[in-house]
């Protein structure tokens, strides 16, 4: 049905979509919203959302937590080095990650965490990528603030999946049983400014696509994120107060047989001031087989990708990224 929906759109702007009707009781209203999302996913792979339901003070608190974390002495952060974690949790130092293999390392620091029960803090252990988070000492309230924001973003992700389903003309609840234990890694990111002569192969985060179904990104007021259009032009994802940025990742691109675009992007902070951002990568349950959704295939467009489970797929991508700095 969407066989010929692939476009080579050379978008110049990233659309803003108002989510106020995301759970409107009228199906026709939800479908109208889903049509805007379909258009953005097919043509751009990125969109902003307003009225996303995450209160500003909660975002501010999380930003404050991130600032306190990155201000810790290097040795304290290195205690939590991501390479010490069997499941990719903890701290990444400057240049430790290399998202674009042609580059020399990403000019950011990061802190990665995953799902914990909001009440008991219990973690899941499905094997693979779930499991324990690591937490810094001596930052009162850090864990609670960060997890509080994390769970709000997860709730937003769950509100988005039915809209993606409507956008694909499949049952609105198609993704429900496939996202009961969503793979959701969140990162606090800190980009120091890059001033003076800059090696083009050292960017805040090199050109890449995301691995999961979609990413929900908060960015501060500093312009750095850029999105590649089909003409090879980098389009700025200008910070817009009150919005979050949503972008499609490779899992959903595979699942939709490339009807939805997983668009290449990067972040380059040449602003002269530091920048913070917080992406959360929302995937399906790890054991879901990413088999092309029937509405996205036709005789002309048969399934393009071998079927893998979501967990196998993400793990192999993470191993590639962090292999660069394996100690």
Build a one-symbol-per-residue string for 207-246: x at contacts with Fe ion by CB under 5 A, - elsewhere. Answer: ---x------------------------------------
Q: Which of 114, 162, 279, 311 binds ligand AKG (CB under 6 A)?
A: 279
Closest approach of ligand AKG to the CB of residue 46, in Å: 10
Q: Considering CB distances under 5 to 8 angstroms, the limit depending on partner class, which of Fe ion, ligand AKG, none binds residue 219?
A: ligand AKG
The two most distant CA atoms of the chain are separated, in Å, by 59
If we measure between CA atoms, which residue out of 316, 308, 283, 313 comes closest to residue 181? 283
Helices (H), the chain: 27-43, 56-70, 74-78, 142-167, 250-255, 310-323
For helices 27-43 and 142-167, angle between their N-to-C axes, nearest 10 degrees: 100
The pair of structure tokens assigned to 261 is 């675009």
User: Which one among 30, 77, 261, 265 touches ligand AKG, defined by CB under 6 A?
Assistant: 265
* Binding flag, residue 62, ligand AKG (CB under 6 A): no
Class of residue 200 by CB neighbours under 10 A (exposed 0-12, middle 13-18, buried 19+):
exposed
Size of the site for Fe ion (CB under 5 A): 1
Q: Which does 225 bind (CB under 5 to 8 A by kind): Fe ion, ligand AKG, none?
A: ligand AKG
Structure tokens given for 300: 């002309």
Residue least distant from ligand AKG (Cβ): 277
**Which of residues 17 and 237 has its CB atom nearest to Fe ion in the complex?**
237
Ranges within 169-228 binding ligand AKG (CB under 6 A):
187, 189, 205, 210, 217, 219, 225
Nearer to Fe ion by C-beta: 97 or 116?
97
Q: Which is nearer to ligand AKG, 219 or 229 (CB)?
A: 219
Is residue 277 near ligand AKG by the rule CB under 6 A?
yes
Residues with Cβ within 8 Å of 250's Cβ and at least 6 positions away in sequence, in order, are 209, 210, 211, 212, 262, 313, 317
| 182, burial (CB in 10 Å: exposed 0-12, middle 13-18, buried 19+) | buried
Residue 142, token pair as written in the block: 């850090």
DSSP label at 25? Answer: S
Provide the minimum distance between the beta carbon of 282 and ligand AKG in the complex, in angstroms, as a whole number: 12
How many chain residues interact with ligand AKG (CB under 6 A)?
11
Residues that bind ligand AKG (CB under 6 A): 187, 189, 205, 210, 217, 219, 225, 265, 267, 277, 279
């Amino acid at each position: 049905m969407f066989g010929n929906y692939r476009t080579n759109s050379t978008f110049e702007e990233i659309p803003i979509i108002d989510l106020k009707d995301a759970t409107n009781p009228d199906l026709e209203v939800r479908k109208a919203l889903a049509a805007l999302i379909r258009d953005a996913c097919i043509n751009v792979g990125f969109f902003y959302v307003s009225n996303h339901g995450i209160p500003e003070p909660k975002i501010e608190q999380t930003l404050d937590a991130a600032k306190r974390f990155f201000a810790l002495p290097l040795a304290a952060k290195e205690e939590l080095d991501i390479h010490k974690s069997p499941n990719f949790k903890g701290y990444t130092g400057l240049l430790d990650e290399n998202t674009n293999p042609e580059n020399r390392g990403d000019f950011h620091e990061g802190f990665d965490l995953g799902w914990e029960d909001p009440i008991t803090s219990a973690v899941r252990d499905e094997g693979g990528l779930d499991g324990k988070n690591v937490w810094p000492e001596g930052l009162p309230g850090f864990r609670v603030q960060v997890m509080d924001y994390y769970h709000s973003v997860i709730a937003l992700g769950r509100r988005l999946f039915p809209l993606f389903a409507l956008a694909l003309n499949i049952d609105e609840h198609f993704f429900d049983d496939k996202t009961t234990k969503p793979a959701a890694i969140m990162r606090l990111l800190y980009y120091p400014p890059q001033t003076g002569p800059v090696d083009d192969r050292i960017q805040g985060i090199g050109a890449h696509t995301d691995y999961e179904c979609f990413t929900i990104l908060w960015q501060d007021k500093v312009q750095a994120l850029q999105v590649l259009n089909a003409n090879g032009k980098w389009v700025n994802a200008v910070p817009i107060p009150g919005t979050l940025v949503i972008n499609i990742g490779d899992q959903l691109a595979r699942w939709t047989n490339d009807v939805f675009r997983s668009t290449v992007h990067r972040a380059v902070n040449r602003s002269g001031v530091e920048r913070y951002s917080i992406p959360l990568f929302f995937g399906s349950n790890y054991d879901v087989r990413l088999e092309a959704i029937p509405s996205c295939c036709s005789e002309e467009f048969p399934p393009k990708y071998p079927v893998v489970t979501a967990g196998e797929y993400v793990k192999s991508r993470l191993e590639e990224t962090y292999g660069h700095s394996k100690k």
